Amino acid sequence: MRKVKSRPTTHYGKKKLFIFKNLLTSTHVFVRVEANKKSLDPPYEEPYEVRTRAPKYFTIKIKEKEHNIAIDRLKPVYVEQTTEEHINESNRHLTLT
């Protein structure tokens, strides 16, 4: 009986939180839908403007009102470069021989 050791407890209720690195610098975010949804409903709502940031939540402007949303429900919006920006950037890297 002396050789029997107790096992470490497990924490089933603890979830590992994934946060996008770009979330802290993005100007707009998608908000994950928490309600029961049908199979073809989008998982995220349209992009919303970020007003302020706190360690655990962001204040977001939704339909002219500000709402505090937890960061685990947010996903950053990635904006595609315009064609002019893309052309100017690609021209900088060209070398003529």
Cβ neighbors of 10 (< 8 A, separation 6 or more) are none
The pLDDT score that the predictor gives to residue 86 is 56
pLDDT per 10-residue tile (average), the chain, 97 residues:
73 73 91 85 90 94 93 89 60 54
Give residue limits of the domains in the chain: 24-76
The pLDDT score that the predictor gives to residue 5 is 77
Asked whether the whole model's pTM tops 0.85, one would answer no
Judge contact between 45 and 37, C-beta under 8 A.
Answer: no
The CATH architecture annotation of domain 24-76 reads: Roll (2.30)
The pLDDT score that the predictor gives to residue 66 is 95
Q: Say which residue the tokens 């590992």 belong to.
A: 16
Exposed, middle or buried by CB within 10 Å (0-12, 13-18, 19+), for 65? exposed
Judge contact between 56 and 71, C-beta under 8 A.
Answer: yes
